[in-house]
Amino acid sequence: MFIKTKAIALLTVLLALPAAMPAWAKNYQIDVNGIVCEFCAFGIGKKLRKLPFIDPANFEDGVKVDIENQRVFVSVKAGEAVDQEALFDAIKSGGYDPINMQEMDEVASPAEVTQ
């Protein structure tokens, strides 16, 4: 009986853990100057997908390029820290100019920053 009670208590705690933990997977929007064609988008996506913290489960293998608005969306793996410098360096290495980066909310729109 004692073991059964402990097992139930442990199971209850383990099942409640994921609900209590924050979601670590994050999406980011990067404004980039110079994206004008599909070839540009392909090159940026290829470079960013090589970064180890990009989550291929979201967007198009972790990266989505919006040519019309000159934006890049990236998804970072759960539990991984985003490396803005690595993201910007990958974009710059293709000859493009990253301007700023902001975290996205769950519906892939810029999260509002409150001060």
Which structural domains are found in the chain, ordered by start?
Answer: 26-103 (3.30.70.100)
40-44, 92-96, 105-109, 111-115: lowest mean pLDDT where? Answer: 111-115
Look at the alpha carbons of 100, 113, 74, 55 in this order and tell me if their dihedral is positive or negative: positive
- pLDDT by residue (tens digit) across 38-91? 999 999 999 999 999 999 999 999 999 999 999 999 999 999 999 999 999 999
23 pLDDT more than 80: no
Indicate the pLDDT class of residue 110, thresholds 50, 70 and 90.
low
pLDDT score at 3: 72
60 contacts 46 by C-beta, under 8 angstroms:
no
Residue bearing tokens 């960013």: 48
- The tokens for 106 are 């769950």
